[in-house]
Structure 1
Amino acid sequence: MPSNFPIAALDLAIIGGYFLIVFAIGYVIAKRTETGDDLFLAGRSLAWGAIGFSLFASNISSTTLIGLAGSAYTTGLAVSNYEWMAGVVLVFMAIFLIPFFIRSQISTIPEYLEKRFDVRSRKYFSALTIFTSVVIDTAGGIYAGTIVIQTFFPDLIPAFGPELDFYTVCFILALIAGIYTAAGGLAAVVYTDIMQAVILIIGSIMITYYTFEQFDFSWAQATAQLPQGHLDLIKPIDDDSLPWLGTLIGVPILGFYYWGLNQYIVQRILGAKDLKNARWGAMLGGGLKLLPLFIMVLPGAFAYTLYPELPNGDMVFPTLVTDLLPVGIVGIVLAGLVAAIMSSIDSTLNSASTLIVIDFVKPSKPDITPEDTARIGRYTTFTLMLFAALWAPQIREFPGIWDYLQQMLSFLVPPVVAIFLLGIFWQRVNGTAAFGTLLGGHVLSLCVFLLSTDGLIFENAVIDLHFTIIAGILTFLCMGLVVFFTLATDEEPTAEQLDDLTWSGRAVEVKEDLPFYQDYRIQAAFVLSLTVAMLVVFW
């Protein structure tokens, strides 16, 4: 990455204006945030537009912007399979999961597990989610954001040495996100996300425009010098970046967990004012997730022709910004970059705080008032903010462990996905089967992780498969565990554990007389049609 990147006064003014608006939104919303429901679920008042844009913004981090362009530069378009798969998963959610989540009035995803199974699965999954949210997502967002800030603003804190520099920037990012998240809660996160999503989209479109301009807006010229298969979404089975089998059986599993069971994403849907807005918001989010291929991935692929000698893919995004964008546009793009940083940090902070208070504090203090719940939630947010800010700089010292933690998501997800899917579609699954699968599945995942990672037990891994393929295989094995434990126990779920919590026990939906464009099924068909068209073009 460039080590020195002078920022024009106009660009700095645009970035400064962004921060002022963020704080203004946080201040206004904080004055209306009084109860725990306000803090964690925006008073269950979110409309579909806010939900959809927030889903998009909370998912796009600084590492996503840089990583998508970098991966497209080095390996091609296949990296965008994670992006468009979100639309497919959100359609599945709108049909099969969201009705259960909204009607049961849950505040956290683990709470659904207690309603459907028992408290053991809820506590286990909640603790797991808190760990990954704080240690991986929040701290990782702060760490990556600090690297980006130091890259583009090397003289941000010139009075201090480089070590204090890094810690200082980490705390500044955490503090800014922590203040408006603790003050305004989910509402502040969502409404700042709307602005951040717009800035992200505009900034990415600008990069795409000026990149394509280098080829006189000619597709033939832009693609003429790219390597064979660089623009293919589906890669051979032996591809190191993302083989087709991983796209088929692994990416949907990871996507289902991320978009359907990850608290910091689904919390926006749980805060919807009703089922219709929840579904509409999911469809908007799914549609928006088709954009990254065109406005974030393709510029990175085209950069292969413009800058063939870059030493690594991480330099693509800053190089495009440095070389191609005029003053003013740079400010918009960098504001979008800062927006991505803040959105990922504030989202994970709010969700982790929600899980701690709703899943652990409130059950132990059932008489706690809504106002006290909000107060404890704010204290929890600040505590998590400080922990994440302290942990983030340590990531530099443990690059191997950090890589393992990131990859571990492929091993942590399968048991959770298995019990949710079978628990919704098979009424026979009981609490013991669910908890047994969580424990047994993660023991199995740990064994496979040790056997598939070089240098942990064996110098060369015994299992040599792409992590997405491993995720798919482990999920099928964990489904087998669910079936085994279910049939091996005599425990029968109660009526309360089945009614409107499983597909067979769902409440019949009342058909409403809505215009065709408000029918979520039509919207879902539209999102899937666009996805299929994109796959046909870039297969």
Structure 2
Amino acid sequence: MREKVALSGIDAGIIVLYLAILVGVGLYFSRKRRIETASDLFLGGRSLKWYNVGLSIFSSNVSPVMLVGYGGMAYTTGMVAANFDWLAWWFLLLLAMVFVPHYFATKVSTMPEFLLRRYGQRSFTFLTYYSMISTLIVSVSFVLLTGGLVIAQLLDVPFWMAAVGATVLATSFTATGGLGAIARTGALQSVVVTLAAVIVGLIAIDRIGGVGEVISRSPKEFWTIFRPSDDPVYPWHAVLLGYPVVGIWYWCTDQTIVQQTLAARSIQHGQYGTMLMAALKALVPFIFLLPGIYCYILFPNLAHPDHAYLVMTANLLPVGLVGITLAALIAALIYDVAVGINAFSAVFSLNVYSKIIEPNASPQKLRTVGRLVIIGSSFIAMLMSILLSTVDKGLFDLSQAVGTYLAPPLTTVFLMGVIWKKATSRAANLTLYLGSPLCICIGTMQLTDFPHKAFWPHFMLLTFLLTAFLMIFMAVISLLFPERQSASSLPTLAETYASQPHYDRSKVWVGWACIAVVMGCLYFLFG
């Protein structure tokens, strides 16, 4: 059994050709649509069609962490991780039918701008700097770290070389083509990544002897997605209670995700694109999770379960397909970096530079600043990833956990802001400025088992409890200290829809109903 890929000349040629096509497509679209303003750079001129939106979000979600990490999770726990895909449709529905209309009605370009419209300057300031720091560290530097380590191992090159190469390629078409180029290359990249994973799975099934053999030769508990309440990894109640907190934060308020819906040419295209993403989520576990189970059958007793996908690639694929699979991994890394640095630059240029440094800057000046920030931020992220590669890799797990504990205050203020008109600025500010350090402090104590491991519930259950506390806190403060004027509150959802060009929303709801039926069948089958 090999854990490193023997790269042939043909495979190397395929990788180079694919990356050249990827960059070429991005540059082609950047020249086809001229970038004249910051809106063109960061939101593609708000011109994306629904399928570009859906595939672009899908590509943001399909990262090297998913390709490699999902294999390791399935190798040890089976299908339980499917919850993170099959529960997502609820929050994509919330994004499409509740948040997107409000985002379009307020004509915002970034998430801090939305809080400015809803709660005022202090909430805007908090989320502006939070978004920049979290995006640069979590969405770019750590993606470069994890993806770069995988690619460096596969290609047997130094980590810095993988990080520099990915950064240069991502920056090359992000700075020139902006989100429009990113979204359109995302359509290409998502197709290739998916096909590569499907090919690996089909070859593995054939090697095992068919689907029946896969089921009979794997542990029975691998095929249920609800684990007992005393399960130490993913107890069912912790998943069902905790995922909504992270789901709202990630799918409805994260700049890297929401920015791609804001680039849609209309609410309708944004909603259909989000619906496409929800439909694709039904397929994700079958494509990216099952290979881990196949690897468990074919290569038991792996010392490092996270290497499951790499072991499959190294031992099952013939010459040529190895190149396509590795190209897909590299493309996924490049795409995630491109989305991250574009989101960082959008927040800095539109929220910091245009409102603090030079309030009267022209759209063309903001475009130039945005491009410079894209180049500068990608360079900083690259240096950070190289620095982080020299320390314990457990730092990545810690960063993900800290991100999870930042979700409760943001989920609270965004959700309360769109569903409850009486939510006040004072309550939102207190929730953000007091709730964030509270959640980080409690999260750090839980991660370090202080004062004792038995004292803490599962981290997803703890996240739910923190959010419940903050929602009650925000409601109480809002009622005790009502807003003197309600000018900052948002219109109702009905008013928001009424202000937009009319279209037949019944078709959208029919689509969501079909997705609900599919998801219900999947849970009936695996629950």
TM band (smaller chain) = over 0.9
- Contact persistence 2:43–2:262 (CA under 8 A): yes
Q: Report what 1:242 is aligned to.
A: 234
Contact 1:428 1:493 in 2 (8 A): no
Does the alignment pair 1:404 with 2:395? no
In the alignment, structure 1 residue 278 sits paired with structure 2 residue 270: yes
Say whether residues 1:153 and 2:145 are aligned partners.
no
Higher mean displacement: 390-399 or 358-367: 390-399
After TM superposition, the structure 1 stretch with the greater mean CA deviation from structure 2, 274-283 or 304-313, is 304-313
Say yes or no: does 1:216 pair with 2:209: yes
- Within 5 Å, give how 1:66-465 maps onto structure 2: 66-154=68-156, 156=157, 165-217=158-210, 219-364=211-356, 365-396=358-389, 397-454=391-448, 457-458=450-451, 460-461=452-453, 463-465=455-457
Specify whether residues 136 and 513 from structure 1 end up closer, same or farther in structure 2 by C-alpha distance, changes over 3 A only: closer
Quote the offset at 1:395 in angstroms.
2.1
AA in 1 matched with 2:45: G
1:536 equivalent to 2:524? Answer: yes
In terms of fraction of residues, the more helix-rich structure is: 2
Matching of residue 506 in structure 1 with residue 507 in structure 2 = no
Contact 2:223 2:526 (8 Å CA) reproduced: yes
Match of 2:28 in 1: 28
- Cα gap change, 1:335/1:414 in structure 2, threshold over 3 Å: closer, same or farther? same
Aligned partner of residue 291 in structure 1, secondary structure: helix
State which drifts further: 44-53 or 329-338. Answer: 329-338
**CA distance, structure 1, for counterparts of residue 166 and residue 418 of structure 2:** 40
Per the alignment, do residues 493 and 116 of structure 1 end up closer, same or farther by CA in structure 2, a change over 3 Å counting?
Answer: farther
What secondary structure does 2:328 align onto? Answer: helix
CA distance in 2, matches of 1:175, 1:133: 18
Check 1:493–1:178 CA distance in 2 against 1; reply closer, same or farther (3 A cut): farther
Cα distance in 1 between the residues matched to 2:517 and 2:169: 40
2:489 maps to a residue whose letter is L
Matches within 5 A, 1:39-78: 39-78=41-80
Q: What secondary structure sits across from 2:223 in the alignment? A: coil
Deviation string for 1:402-446 (max 9, x for gaps)?
322110112101011111111111111111111111112113213
Classify 1:510/1:370 alpha carbon distance in 2 versus 1 (closer, same or farther; 3 Å). Answer: closer
CA distance change for structure 1 residues 168 and 303 in 2, over 3 Å: closer, same or farther?
closer
Unaligned residue ranges in structure 1 (runs of 5+): 157-164
Instruction: Using the TM superposition, give the Cα deviation of residue 209 of structure 1 relative to its aligned residue in structure 2, in angstroms.
Output: 0.7
- Distance in 2 (alpha carbons) for counterparts of 1:484 and 1:515: 35
Q: Are the aligned partners of 1:134 and 1:349 in contact in 2 as well (CA < 8 Å)?
A: yes
Q: CA deviation at 1:336?
A: 1.4
TM-score with structure 1 length normalisation? Answer: 0.93
Q: Which runs of 5+ in 2 are unaligned?
A: none
Return the alpha-carbon distance in structure 2 between the equivalents of residues 189 and 427 of structure 1: 36
Mean Cα deviation higher: 198-207 or 326-335: 326-335
Matched residue, 1:161: none
Query: How far is 1:524 from its partner?
Result: 0.9
Letter in 2 for 1:384: S
User: Take 1:463 and 1:175, find their aligned partners in 2: how far apart are those partners?
Assistant: 47
Cα drift, residue 98 of structure 1: 0.9
1:38 matched to which residue of 2? 40
- TM-score norm. by structure 2 comes to 0.95
- Distance in 2, matches of 1:87 and 1:248, equals 13
Deviation at 1:112, TM superposition (A): 0.7
- What amino acid is the match of 2:448? D
1:536 is displaced (CA, Å) by 0.9
| Contact 1:287 1:527 survives alignment (8 Å) | yes
**Counterpart residue type for residue 516 of structure 2:** L
More displaced, 381-390 or 298-307?
Answer: 298-307
CA contact (8 A) 2:401 2:443 kept: no
Cα offset for 1:462?
6.1
Are positions 1:13 and 2:13 aligned together?
yes
Q: Is this contact kept in 2: 1:452–1:464, CA < 8 A?
A: yes
Evaluate the alpha carbon distance shift between residue 224 and residue 170 of structure 1 in structure 2; reply closer, same or farther with a 3 A threshold.
same
Between 460-469 and 348-357, report the one with greater CA deviation. 460-469
Distance 1:183 1:510, change over 3 A: closer
- The one-letter amino acid of 1:256's match is I
Q: 2-side partners of 1:415 and 1:450: how far apart? A: 16
Q: 1:234 to 1:492 in 2, by over 3 A?
A: farther
> Cα gap change, 1:435/1:2 in structure 2, threshold over 3 Å: closer, same or farther?
farther
Tell me the residue number matched to 2:474.
482
Write the deviation string for residues 170-229 of structure 1: whole angstroms up to 9, x where unpaired.
Answer: 222112111211111111111111110000111111111111112332x32111122231
Contact 1:36–1:373 at 8 Å: present in 2 too? yes
Shift of 1:341: 0.8
Letter in 1 for 2:281: K
- Which amino acid is 2:371 matched to? R
Structure 1 pair 49/380, CA: closer, same or farther in 2 (3 Å)? same
Q: Answer yes or no: is the 8 Å Cα contact 1:212–1:222 preserved in 2.
A: yes
Superposition deviation, residue 169 in structure 1: 2.4
By how many angstroms is 1:148 displaced? 1.6
1:347 is aligned with what amino acid? V
1:452–1:462 CA contact under 8 A, matched in 2: no
Q: CA deviation at 1:102?
A: 1.4
Partners in 1 of 2:20 and 2:417 — Cα distance? 46
How many angstroms does 1:507 deviate by? 4.4
Deviation at 1:513?
Answer: 6.5
Runs of 4+ in 1 over 6 A off after TM superposition: none
Give the match for residue 159 of structure 1. Answer: none
Residues 470 and 175 of structure 1: is their aligned pair in 2 closer, same or farther, counting only changes over 3 Å? same
State how far apart, in whole Å, the 1-side matches of 2:173 and 2:497 are: 38
The answer to whether the Cα contact below 8 Å between 2:418 and 2:490 also exists between their aligned partners in 1 is no
Contact kept, 8 Å, 2:39 with 2:45, in 1: the verdict is: yes
